Amino acid sequence: MQTFVAVLMWLLVASLLILRRGRAERSITYAAITIAVAMTINVDAVYRPLDALLGGSNVATLIGDCALMIGIFFLGRGIMKAGEYQPGPVRIALGSTALLVALGGVVITFLLIDRGATTTNFMIDLGAQPAAAAYSMIQFTYYGIVVGTMAVLASRQYGLSDGVQRLPAGSLVVGALLGVALCVVVLIMDIAHVAGRVDVMADVSIAYGPLYILTFIFLCVGLAGQPTVRYLSARRRAARTRTLIKELSPAWRAATIVRPGLSQTDAASVQTDGLEAQLHRQVVEIRDAMIDPRVSFSLSAGDRLVLERAERHLLGTQGAQVRASVAPDTRRTSQRGAA
């Protein structure tokens, strides 16, 4: 199970490094890397030699658990920064102060545990100690608070999204809720173990494995899905933009013949403009030719439909910004032409 999760996390890291390259906000990538390191430390084949190097007293457990807490912190911060909904309780739950308090409690309780020699079943072997129970409970209380807050943020993102863009947010919601359930299960196990109710611990532990695997699967799908959906949407939009530029070019060339615009005075800029800017310029210069009383220019019914499709295409992502800019740009270009 640990090996599967570690491999899953490193696959997520690889996908994020590819799909999110160039993005200024990297909290999600940092989270994936840190969690992947934590999961790798917990793989038995890695844990045993690592702990032996550290003295053979399960110090590797503390390192892996702290790495996981830091990774969850970055994950929550990344999801919070992805939206504008950041009320006070959310900022506190996902803030550095909460992380430092939790880390401090984990380190102190770890030092109080009679750890013995290296064991790959740390809580099973040592969980009857109150200090070990407190060690685990502090961690999973922190995890529960963070992933619970993530569920709230992701559900809000889900409500604000539509179509295929809802799939990653929905996966994050499910993964976060499963994570909360996992934390509750672990807390019950910890309390039952320290209270001597091994039978209760054994009964509840049946849910641990499935919840653990499903939590990471849904969270990884959600985290990898967001940049994947953006990438595919951008590719589709770019292809649509190229098609509209090609379809609109005959009408645009005819418009610039009767009424030269910026494309004739700033040819170098046109060649280096992005696709959206080229299409926007075509639309503006065609509209300028249509409304300029000094020239005679009109579009066929087919070209007018293409022009309207291009305008709707531009308004589809730029929204108010394009609505605010098309008319002023048209007026300024008309004024320059009349000057």
pLDDT for res 233: 83
SS3 for 190-205 is HHHHHCCCHHHHHHHH
**Domains of the chain and CATH, by start:** 2-232 (1.20.1070), 259-338 (no CATH)
* pLDDT: which is higher, 322 or 111: 111
Q: What is the pLDDT of residue 273?
A: 61
Residues 6+ apart with CB under 8 A from 52: 118
Task: Tell me how far apart the alpha carbons of residues 119 and 47 are, in angstroms, rounded to a whole number.
Answer: 9
Tell me the whole-structure pTM to 2 decimals.
0.75
pLDDT at 62: 95
pLDDT band at 2 (very low <50, low <70, confident <90, very high): confident
Task: Compute how many other C-beta atoms are within 10 angstroms of the C-beta atom of residue 164.
Answer: 12
Q: How confident is the model at residue 25 (pLDDT cuts 50, 70, 90)?
A: low
pLDDT for the residue 269: 47
Task: Specify the range with the lowest mean pLDDT, choosing from 39-48, 68-77, 247-256.
Answer: 247-256
> Which range is least confidently modeled, 146-150, 294-298, 302-306?
294-298
Question: What pLDDT is attached to residue 20?
Answer: 72
The dihedral over CA atoms of 30, 36, 40, 43, expressed in degrees to the nearest 10, equals 150
Per-residue confidence (pLDDT) for residue 320, from 0 to 100: 37
Q: Tell me what pLDDT residue 34 has.
A: 94
Token couple for 206? 């049946």
Asked if residues 80 and 90 have their Cβ atoms less than 8 Å apart, the reply is yes
Say which range, 107-111, 137-141, 317-321, has the weakest mean pLDDT.
317-321
| Digit-coded pLDDT (tens) for 65-112 | 999 999 999 999 888 887 777 788 888 988 999 999 999 999 999 999
Among 18-27, 72-81, 297-306, 308-317, which stretch is predicted with the lowest mean pLDDT?
Answer: 18-27
- Of 20 and 229, the structure prediction assigns the larger pLDDT to 229
pLDDT at 151 over 70: yes
Does pLDDT of 17 surpass 60? yes
pLDDT higher than 80, residue 3 = yes
pLDDT at 265 over 90: no
Q: Would you place residue 335 in the very low, low, confident or very high pLDDT band (cuts 50, 70, 90)?
A: very low
Q: What is the mean pLDDT of residues 179-192?
A: 95
Q: What mean pLDDT, rounded, does the chain reach?
A: 85
pLDDT digit string (tens) for 159-184? 887 778 888 889 999 999 999 999 99
Which position has the token pair 């699967």?
Answer: 217
Does residue 336 carry a pLDDT above 80? no
Distance CA 224, CA 221 (A): 5
> Contact at 8 Å (CB) between 74 and 31?
yes
pLDDT of residue 182: 96
